[in-house]
Structure 1
Amino acid sequence: MGLLPEFGNLFFTLGAFIVALSIIVAVHEYGHYIVGRWSGIHAEVFSLGFGPVLFSRVDKRGTRWQFALLPFGGYVKFLGDANAASSAADDAVMAGLDKREQRHTMHGAPLWARAATIFAGPAFNFIFSIIIFSAFIALKGLPAEEPRVGALLPMPGQVELMSGDLITAIDGEPVEDLRSYYAVADALEPAQNVTYSVERAGQPMEVTGPHPLPARAAGIALQSAARDAGMQTGDVVLSVDEAPVYAFTQLPPMVNAADGETVALRIWRMGEELDVDLTPRRTDLPLPEGGFETRWLIGLQSGTFFEHPMRSVSVVESVPMAVEEIGNIISRSISGLYHMVTGAISTCNLSGPVGIATTSGEMAADGLDSFIWFIAVLSTAVGLLNLFPIPILDGGHLVFHAYEAVVGRPPSEKILGAFMTVGLVLLGMLMLFALGNDLLC
């Protein structure tokens, strides 16, 4: 009976991974398909998955849409392609087509049409991510600038603040907006109780509450020591190795001081006190100014003891924010790869299929919002990966097209075949290396 939950978790994780991957692959391949169609290139097959076909139908344009048995990828096969990667022409098929018909093949179309069709896959991944990010921002809004108390969150001890209070000072330090709230909170000494100056129904008063940044878990990081130990969002850390904790700012130095040894946490959870032992993990953190810093972490995310009122955000405002989010993901990814190659950070930061599947399951378990956001992040990563100048990936094809644009002719079939083989080997080695990280790191 004890194995049933494990099998349930395995199937849930695998299912979440397949759903996330299928959506991202469908978006990517649809980009190739639709831009190819707009460019006059005929798609013979649009497949989600590889191997034996489970279901298929042919549309009025003659394209066969199909689901295949192995749901770990997909492809679009255009007229005249010898394979799903469009890396070579089927000479027999091409010989049977006249010049007008060859214009509708990937290998007989103008260079601009071929390049646009190839680039469309990653581009659609980015567009898909922009749509999701901007929709989230527009629908959920952003925290209002004024430091007003929204709904109070469960906390131990005395909390005299009320929903609707406007915070004007903390322990005598003036607070003008949300930015200054966090600045004062970061500089404030840890204390069990703090005095807040507030306006309530237009009347100024002083009330008592916890530290403005209490040791409360506003979130639990994925694949972290805290998550593995069963900690939950809303848990409040009362002590670390019997030393009392009143503010979140106390946790990082306490965890770092343990130097990787197990720490004993006393936590408060909805009126009940629990003991949790966990072992911090050495983690490479990106710095705002660039580069990375290695620290011991347990995976708790900080926050306040109340919800912030939200302000509405227009689509016009949310789209640039979504583009900025994608830019940040791409920048961090490239920086991380560079620092791994140069040895500045551990190569264990590179996740393989097992790590991505595990993250898919954890995000799905956290809720639909988290899962959809993760799909957008992963879609951005897939778009970026496909633009790498590795033969067999879209970026490799674009390099060949750039060569053709400069030289005036495409590389020979022999050279293309050799590069494709090298690309396949490189990609296989990268996948095996990442899989090794999943299993050994």
Structure 2
Amino acid sequence: MTLDPITLTVIQSGLQQVCDEMDLSFSRAAFSPVIAEANDRSDGIYSAEDGSLIAQGSQGLPVFVGVMQYSTATLIRMIEEGKVVAPKPGDIYIVNDPYLGGTHLMDVRFAMPVWRNGETLELELTPKRTDEPLPEGGYHTVYRIGIVGGLAFEPATSMVGPVEAFTGGVERTWSIITGSLSGLWNMVIGNISSCNLSGPIGIAQTSGAMASQGGQSFITFIAVLSTAVGLLNLFPVPVLDGGHLVFHAWEAVSGKPPSDRALNVLMSIGLILILSLMTFALTNDLFCP
């Protein structure tokens, strides 16, 4: 079978990510610091035909990955010869015989068969257009299929004082506001796709994705969403708080509030604008790739 470089890279990165996640789970579940901190272990994916190595984790000791393929090859041969019971879904083989591909008696190898019952699966990927901001300003368009790498370690964190936390919060809020305004303006003038405007379905999907990544990612997303919604609410559109501020400003300048007729007309226009925006965002959720 011949694969083009892009397909090969996608498959290779996916298998590498699986191994890295096994590495991380192994390390977190370990009671011994020899395994959890010294990385005295390894993980890999091996061929069901001859036990040869297909992919390995980026953490751990490579020597174990190298010898594990001999354990896997021996296990496959013993299953074919009937010396070992054939696996069923969910079965895991445990091997600690150094003559079957180990380094010493303390080594324990786990092998879990994975198969698709001989069925060939065809997956179709549709790249999604993403307009990403540039450090120097502006945007550039890229197409992504949604596969990203994860961290094989926990990022270091540190406590900050109230002054530094307040300053950082103000800077982050200002960054969200300027980024939101820049994105809206570039959508209006056509520099970026209007599909960047998401509705309730897109927000719910993103919220679920952030929640699956942990509490910190979810809280950060809620903060960004709240800031963006608060900014939208301050737009000078009737029925929004920004529209009411405009009415109060008019009353302060003219000395009298707008007439009831003018208020009714402006409120109706504002409501139509908001409903149109919501319909447009919902359409993006349903039809944008």
1:302 deviates by: 6.3
Matching residue of 1:403: 250
Any unmatched runs of 5+ in structure 1?
1-238, 244-262
> Given that residues 281 and 296 in structure 1 are in contact (C-alpha distance below 8 angstroms), is that contact kept between their aligned partners in structure 2?
yes
2: distance between equivalents of 1:285 and 1:399?
34
1: distance between equivalents of 2:245 and 2:124?
51
- For residue 7 of structure 2, what is the amino acid of its counterpart? D
Residue 392 (structure 1) aligned to one of 239, 253, 263 = 239
1: distance between equivalents of 2:203 and 2:151?
30
Matching residue of 2:183: 336
Write out aligned runs for 1:242-391 (5 A): 242=8, 263-266=10-13, 267-268=15-16, 269=18, 270=22, 271-273=43-45, 278-299=125-146, 306-391=153-238
Write out aligned runs for 1:180-219 (5 A): none
Equivalent residue pairs, number: 184
2: distance between equivalents of 1:309 and 1:433?
41
1:96-143 CA-partner distances (Å, limit 9, x unpaired): xxxxxxxxxxxxxxxxxxxxxxxxxxxxxxxxxxxxxxxxxxxxxxxx
2: distance between equivalents of 1:407 and 1:372?
44
Residue 422 (structure 1) aligned to one of 243, 255, 269 = 269
TM-score, normalising length from structure 2? 0.58
Q: Which has the higher contact order (CA 8 A, sep 6+)?
A: 1
1:307 deviates by: 4.4
Cα RMSD over matched residues? 2.5
Alignment pair present for 1:241 and 2:88 = no
Matching residue of 1:437: 284
1:272 deviates by: 4.1
1: distance between equivalents of 2:280 and 2:173?
26
TM-score, normalising length from structure 1? 0.39
1:291 deviates by: 1.4
1: distance between equivalents of 2:182 and 2:275?
23
1:169-215 CA-partner distances (Å, limit 9, x unpaired): xxxxxxxxxxxxxxxxxxxxxxxxxxxxxxxxxxxxxxxxxxxxxxx
1:123-169 CA-partner distances (Å, limit 9, x unpaired): xxxxxxxxxxxxxxxxxxxxxxxxxxxxxxxxxxxxxxxxxxxxxxx
1: distance between equivalents of 2:171 and 2:146?
25
2: distance between equivalents of 1:354 and 1:303?
25
Any unmatched runs of 5+ in structure 2?
23-42, 46-54, 56-120
1: distance between equivalents of 2:235 and 2:182?
14
1:306 deviates by: 4.6
Identity of aligned residues (%): 55
> Given that residues 264 and 277 in structure 1 are in contact (C-alpha distance below 8 angstroms), is that contact kept between their aligned partners in structure 2?
no
Residues 328 and 397 of structure 1: CA distance in aligned 2, closer, same or farther (over 3 Å): same
Please say which structure displays the higher CA radius of gyration: 2
1:370 deviates by: 2.3
Residues 366 and 351 of structure 1: CA distance in aligned 2, closer, same or farther (over 3 Å): same
Residues 423 and 408 of structure 1: CA distance in aligned 2, closer, same or farther (over 3 Å): same
